[in-house]
Protein backbone atom coordinates (compact mmCIF):
# COMPACT_ATOMS: atom_id res chain seq x y z
CA UNK A 1 0.00 0.00 0.00
CA UNK A 2 2.79 2.39 0.92
CA UNK A 3 4.63 1.62 -2.31
CA UNK A 4 1.48 2.31 -4.31
CA UNK A 5 1.01 5.66 -2.58
CA UNK A 6 4.65 6.53 -3.24
CA UNK A 7 4.25 5.66 -6.93
CA UNK A 8 1.07 7.73 -7.17
CA UNK A 9 2.80 10.68 -5.56
CA UNK A 10 5.65 10.42 -8.03
CA UNK A 11 3.25 10.29 -10.96
CA UNK A 12 1.50 13.41 -9.72
CA UNK A 13 4.86 15.07 -9.09
CA UNK A 14 5.99 14.36 -12.65
CA UNK A 15 2.71 15.72 -13.96
CA UNK A 16 3.26 18.97 -12.05
CA UNK A 17 6.27 19.67 -14.29
CA UNK A 18 3.92 20.01 -17.25
CA UNK A 19 1.66 22.36 -15.29
CA UNK A 20 3.73 24.49 -12.90
CA UNK A 21 0.59 25.72 -11.14
CA UNK A 22 -0.62 22.26 -10.13
CA UNK A 23 -0.42 21.83 -6.34
CA UNK A 24 2.86 20.31 -5.18
CA UNK A 25 2.35 16.72 -3.99
CA UNK A 26 2.99 15.64 -0.42
CA UNK A 27 6.04 13.75 -1.69
CA UNK A 28 7.92 17.05 -1.79
CA UNK A 29 7.52 17.56 1.94
CA UNK A 30 10.02 14.81 2.75
CA UNK A 31 13.77 14.48 2.20
CA UNK A 32 13.38 11.22 0.18
CA UNK A 33 10.79 12.90 -2.02
CA UNK A 34 13.01 15.90 -2.58
CA UNK A 35 15.92 13.59 -3.39
CA UNK A 36 13.77 11.91 -6.01
CA UNK A 37 13.07 15.28 -7.60
CA UNK A 38 16.79 15.96 -7.83
CA UNK A 39 17.76 12.51 -9.14
CA UNK A 40 14.85 11.71 -11.50
CA UNK A 41 15.68 11.37 -15.22
CA UNK A 42 15.52 14.57 -17.26
CA UNK A 43 12.87 14.99 -19.93
CA UNK A 44 15.48 14.38 -22.63
CA UNK A 45 18.35 12.04 -21.84
CA UNK A 46 20.40 13.47 -24.70
CA UNK A 47 19.82 17.06 -23.61
CA UNK A 48 22.84 19.20 -22.88
CA UNK A 49 23.57 19.41 -19.16
CA UNK A 50 22.93 22.85 -17.70
CA UNK A 51 25.56 22.98 -14.97
CA UNK A 52 24.22 26.12 -13.33
CA UNK A 53 20.71 24.67 -13.13
CA UNK A 54 22.13 21.47 -11.62
CA UNK A 55 23.94 23.60 -9.02
CA UNK A 56 20.78 25.54 -8.20
CA UNK A 57 18.81 22.32 -7.70
CA UNK A 58 21.52 20.93 -5.44
CA UNK A 59 21.45 24.12 -3.37
CA UNK A 60 17.65 24.02 -3.13
CA UNK A 61 17.68 20.40 -1.98
CA UNK A 62 20.33 21.14 0.63
CA UNK A 63 18.41 24.14 1.96
CA UNK A 64 15.14 22.20 2.04
CA UNK A 65 16.77 19.52 4.18
CA UNK A 66 18.25 22.12 6.56
CA UNK A 67 14.99 24.08 6.82
CA UNK A 68 11.99 21.71 6.54
CA UNK A 69 9.57 24.64 6.85
CA UNK A 70 10.71 25.69 3.37
CA UNK A 71 10.72 22.20 1.81
CA UNK A 72 7.46 22.71 -0.08
CA UNK A 73 8.57 26.18 -1.17
CA UNK A 74 11.86 24.93 -2.62
CA UNK A 75 10.09 22.03 -4.28
CA UNK A 76 7.46 24.25 -5.90
CA UNK A 77 9.89 27.02 -6.83
CA UNK A 78 12.89 25.02 -8.02
CA UNK A 79 12.85 21.23 -7.77
CA UNK A 80 9.56 20.66 -9.59
CA UNK A 81 10.81 22.41 -12.74
CA UNK A 82 12.75 20.94 -15.64
CA UNK A 83 14.70 24.11 -16.44
CA UNK A 84 15.88 27.43 -15.06
CA UNK A 85 13.65 29.22 -17.56
CA UNK A 86 10.54 27.41 -16.32
CA UNK A 87 11.35 28.08 -12.66
CA UNK A 88 12.02 31.75 -13.29
CA UNK A 89 8.93 32.15 -15.47
CA UNK A 90 6.72 30.68 -12.76
CA UNK A 91 8.23 32.91 -10.07
CA UNK A 92 7.79 36.07 -12.15
CA UNK A 93 4.31 35.15 -13.34
CA UNK A 94 3.18 34.72 -9.75
CA UNK A 95 4.73 38.04 -8.68
CA UNK A 96 3.45 40.03 -11.66
CA UNK A 97 -0.05 38.59 -11.90
CA UNK A 98 -3.12 40.61 -10.94
CA UNK A 99 -6.88 39.99 -11.03
CA UNK A 100 -7.08 40.87 -14.74
CA UNK A 101 -3.82 39.17 -15.75
CA UNK A 102 -3.67 35.60 -14.52
CA UNK A 103 -0.45 33.86 -13.56
CA UNK A 104 -1.02 30.92 -15.93
CA UNK A 105 -1.24 33.22 -18.95
CA UNK A 106 1.78 35.21 -17.84
CA UNK A 107 3.75 32.01 -17.37
CA UNK A 108 3.19 31.01 -20.98
CA UNK A 109 4.22 34.47 -22.21
CA UNK A 110 7.34 34.80 -20.05
CA UNK A 111 8.46 31.22 -20.51
CA UNK A 112 8.24 31.56 -24.29
CA UNK A 113 10.25 34.81 -24.17
CA UNK A 114 12.99 33.06 -22.19
CA UNK A 115 12.96 29.65 -23.83
CA UNK A 116 12.94 30.76 -27.47
CA UNK A 117 15.92 33.13 -27.31
CA UNK A 118 19.38 31.72 -26.66
CA UNK A 119 20.77 35.20 -25.94
CA UNK A 120 18.20 35.68 -23.17
CA UNK A 121 19.04 32.28 -21.71
CA UNK A 122 22.72 33.17 -21.54
CA UNK A 123 21.96 36.63 -20.12
CA UNK A 124 19.89 35.13 -17.29
CA UNK A 125 22.75 32.84 -16.33
CA UNK A 126 25.32 35.62 -16.57
CA UNK A 127 23.19 37.80 -14.29
CA UNK A 128 22.95 35.02 -11.71
CA UNK A 129 26.69 34.43 -11.78
CA UNK A 130 27.37 38.17 -11.51
CA UNK A 131 25.20 38.49 -8.40
CA UNK A 132 26.93 35.55 -6.76
CA UNK A 133 30.41 36.85 -7.62
CA UNK A 134 29.97 40.59 -7.01
CA UNK A 135 27.40 40.87 -4.21
CA UNK A 136 28.83 39.80 -0.82
CA UNK A 137 25.27 39.48 0.52
CA UNK A 138 24.37 36.79 -2.03
CA UNK A 139 24.37 33.48 -0.17
CA UNK A 140 23.89 31.24 -3.20
CA UNK A 141 22.53 31.11 -6.73
CA UNK A 142 19.24 29.88 -5.32
CA UNK A 143 19.15 32.82 -2.92
CA UNK A 144 19.45 35.23 -5.84
CA UNK A 145 16.95 33.36 -8.01
CA UNK A 146 14.26 33.31 -5.35
CA UNK A 147 14.86 36.43 -3.27
CA UNK A 148 16.67 39.23 -5.14
CA UNK A 149 14.10 41.67 -6.47
CA UNK A 150 16.75 43.43 -8.56
CA UNK A 151 17.33 40.16 -10.39
CA UNK A 152 13.57 39.66 -10.74
CA UNK A 153 13.08 43.16 -12.13
CA UNK A 154 15.90 42.67 -14.62
CA UNK A 155 14.53 39.36 -15.88
CA UNK A 156 11.05 40.89 -16.13
CA UNK A 157 12.65 43.51 -18.36
CA UNK A 158 14.32 40.84 -20.48
CA UNK A 159 10.91 39.29 -21.12
CA UNK A 160 9.34 42.69 -21.84
CA UNK A 161 12.23 43.64 -24.15
CA UNK A 162 11.71 40.43 -26.13
CA UNK A 163 8.01 41.22 -26.48
CA UNK A 164 8.80 44.81 -27.51
CA UNK A 165 11.16 43.58 -30.20
CA UNK A 166 8.56 41.20 -31.60
CA UNK A 167 5.98 43.98 -31.90
CA UNK A 168 3.88 43.09 -28.86
CA UNK A 169 4.34 46.54 -27.37
CA UNK A 170 1.10 46.72 -25.39
CA UNK A 171 1.97 43.53 -23.52
CA UNK A 172 5.57 44.71 -23.07
CA UNK A 173 4.55 47.97 -21.39
CA UNK A 174 2.02 46.09 -19.27
CA UNK A 175 4.83 43.90 -17.94
CA UNK A 176 6.90 47.04 -17.36
CA UNK A 177 4.07 48.61 -15.39
CA UNK A 178 3.52 45.52 -13.25
CA UNK A 179 7.26 45.19 -12.56
CA UNK A 180 7.40 48.85 -11.55
CA UNK A 181 4.53 48.33 -9.11
CA UNK A 182 5.84 45.07 -7.67
CA UNK A 183 9.61 45.64 -7.59
CA UNK A 184 9.81 49.47 -7.54
CA UNK A 185 12.08 49.31 -10.60
CA UNK A 186 11.02 51.04 -13.82
CA UNK A 187 12.87 49.92 -16.97
CA UNK A 188 11.42 50.84 -20.36
CA UNK A 189 11.00 47.73 -22.54
CA UNK A 190 13.01 49.32 -25.36
CA UNK A 191 16.10 49.88 -23.20
CA UNK A 192 19.00 47.60 -24.12
CA UNK A 193 20.79 45.85 -21.25
CA UNK A 194 23.81 43.58 -21.54
CA UNK A 195 24.80 40.44 -19.64
CA UNK A 196 26.19 40.01 -16.16
CA UNK A 197 24.27 42.99 -14.81
CA UNK A 198 23.54 43.43 -11.11
CA UNK A 199 20.81 45.76 -9.84
CA UNK A 200 21.62 45.75 -6.14
CA UNK A 201 18.83 46.53 -3.63
CA UNK A 202 17.02 47.89 -6.70
CA UNK A 203 14.38 50.16 -5.15
CA UNK A 204 13.93 53.34 -7.16
CA UNK A 205 15.98 52.37 -10.22
CA UNK A 206 14.76 54.01 -13.45
CA UNK A 207 16.10 53.26 -16.95
CA UNK A 208 14.78 55.25 -19.91
CA UNK A 209 13.65 54.13 -23.35
CA UNK A 210 16.82 54.81 -25.35
CA UNK A 211 19.29 53.88 -22.61
CA UNK A 212 21.96 51.28 -23.31
CA UNK A 213 23.68 49.38 -20.49
CA UNK A 214 26.76 47.30 -21.25
CA UNK A 215 27.97 44.00 -19.85
CA UNK A 216 29.03 43.46 -16.22
CA UNK A 217 27.47 46.71 -15.00
CA UNK A 218 26.36 47.29 -11.41
CA UNK A 219 23.51 49.69 -10.64
CA UNK A 220 22.71 50.42 -7.00
CA UNK A 221 19.37 51.55 -5.60
CA UNK A 222 17.97 54.93 -6.56
CA UNK A 223 19.89 55.15 -9.85
CA UNK A 224 18.28 57.03 -12.74
CA UNK A 225 19.44 56.65 -16.32
CA UNK A 226 17.12 59.31 -17.64
CA UNK A 227 16.60 62.19 -20.01
CA UNK A 228 16.92 65.90 -19.38
CA UNK A 229 13.32 66.53 -20.40
CA UNK A 230 14.46 68.96 -23.10
CA UNK A 231 14.88 66.66 -26.12
CA UNK A 232 13.14 63.76 -27.84
CA UNK A 233 14.62 60.88 -29.78
CA UNK A 234 17.86 59.31 -28.57
CA UNK A 235 17.91 61.03 -25.18
CA UNK A 236 19.19 58.59 -22.56
CA UNK A 237 22.63 57.51 -21.29
CA UNK A 238 24.93 54.92 -22.84
CA UNK A 239 26.72 52.97 -20.10
CA UNK A 240 29.86 51.03 -21.03
CA UNK A 241 31.04 47.64 -19.82
CA UNK A 242 32.08 47.12 -16.20
CA UNK A 243 30.68 50.43 -14.94
CA UNK A 244 29.60 50.94 -11.31
CA UNK A 245 26.83 53.48 -10.72
CA UNK A 246 26.53 54.37 -7.03
CA UNK A 247 23.35 54.65 -4.98
CA UNK A 248 21.15 57.62 -5.76
CA UNK A 249 23.16 58.71 -8.81
CA UNK A 250 21.48 60.38 -11.78
CA UNK A 251 22.91 60.11 -15.28
CA UNK A 252 20.89 62.41 -17.51
CA UNK A 253 20.82 62.91 -21.25
CA UNK A 254 22.51 61.14 -24.13
CA UNK A 255 25.88 61.03 -22.39
CA UNK A 256 28.44 58.25 -22.59
CA UNK A 257 30.01 56.59 -19.58
CA UNK A 258 33.18 54.78 -20.60
CA UNK A 259 34.13 51.20 -19.77
CA UNK A 260 35.21 50.61 -16.19
CA UNK A 261 34.13 54.04 -14.93
CA UNK A 262 32.77 54.57 -11.41
CA UNK A 263 30.08 57.08 -10.46
CA UNK A 264 29.99 58.01 -6.79
CA UNK A 265 26.81 57.83 -4.72
CA UNK A 266 24.47 60.79 -5.13
CA UNK A 267 26.28 62.18 -8.18
CA UNK A 268 24.52 63.96 -11.05
CA UNK A 269 26.20 63.20 -14.37
CA UNK A 270 25.46 65.60 -17.24
CA UNK A 271 28.54 65.08 -19.41
CA UNK A 272 30.51 62.17 -20.83
CA UNK A 273 32.63 60.19 -18.36
CA UNK A 274 36.00 58.88 -19.50
CA UNK A 275 36.73 55.15 -19.38
CA UNK A 276 38.33 54.03 -16.14
CA UNK A 277 37.69 57.31 -14.35
CA UNK A 278 35.81 58.03 -11.13
CA UNK A 279 33.40 60.97 -10.91
CA UNK A 280 31.56 62.37 -7.90
CA UNK A 281 29.41 65.32 -6.99
CA UNK A 282 26.63 67.44 -8.46
CA UNK A 283 27.45 68.11 -11.18
CA UNK A 284 29.83 65.16 -11.27
CA UNK A 285 33.54 65.89 -11.71
CA UNK A 286 36.52 63.54 -12.05
CA UNK A 287 38.39 62.59 -8.90
CA UNK A 288 42.02 63.60 -9.17
CA UNK A 289 44.41 60.75 -8.59
CA UNK A 290 47.20 61.44 -6.11
CA UNK A 291 50.64 60.26 -7.14
Q: Residue 201: which CATH number?
A: 2.160.10.10
Predicted model pTM: 0.86
Does residue 3 belong to any structural domain of this protein? no
Asked whether the CA dihedral 270, 271, 272, 273 is positive or negative, the reply is negative
Question: Same domain for 66 and 177?
Answer: yes
* pLDDT of amino acid 45: 43
Domain tally, the chain? 2
> Measured between alpha carbons, how far is 226 from 256 in angstroms, rounded to an integer?
12
* pLDDT of amino acid 6: 46
Q: Taking a C-beta distance cutoff of 8 angstroms, is the pair 96, 155 a contact?
A: no
The single-letter DSSP state of residue 83 is: S
Instruction: Please give the residue range of the domain that contains residue 262.
Output: 191-290
Cα–Cα–Cα angle for 90, 190, 269, rounded to 5 degrees? 115
* pLDDT of amino acid 74: 94
Does residue 147 belong to any structural domain of this protein? yes
Question: Same domain for 144 and 203?
Answer: no
Tell me the per-residue pLDDT of 134-166, one tens digit each, with 9 for 90 and over. Answer: 999 999 999 999 999 999 999 999 999 999 999
Burial of residue 170 (number of CB atoms within 10 Å: 0-12, 13-18, 19+): exposed
CA distances for 178 relative to 20, 86, 187, angstroms: 21, 20, 11
CA distances for 278 relative to 21, 147, 162, 272, 289, angstroms: 48, 31, 33, 12, 9
Instruction: With a cut of 50, list the residues of the chain below it in pLDDT.
Output: 1-9, 12-13, 15-16, 27, 39, 41-46
Tell me the per-residue pLDDT of 250-267, one tens digit each, with 9 for 90 and over. Answer: 999 999 999 999 999 999
Does residue 67 belong to any structural domain of this protein? yes
Amino acid sequence: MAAACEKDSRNRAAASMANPFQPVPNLCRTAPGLSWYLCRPSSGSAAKVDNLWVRIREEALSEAKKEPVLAKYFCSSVLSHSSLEAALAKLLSQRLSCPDLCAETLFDVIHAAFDEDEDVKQAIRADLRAAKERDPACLSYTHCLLNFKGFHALQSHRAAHSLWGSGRKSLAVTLQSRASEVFAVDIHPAARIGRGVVIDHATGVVVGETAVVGNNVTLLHGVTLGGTGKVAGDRHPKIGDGVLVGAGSKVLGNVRVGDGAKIGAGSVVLRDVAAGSTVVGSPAKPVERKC
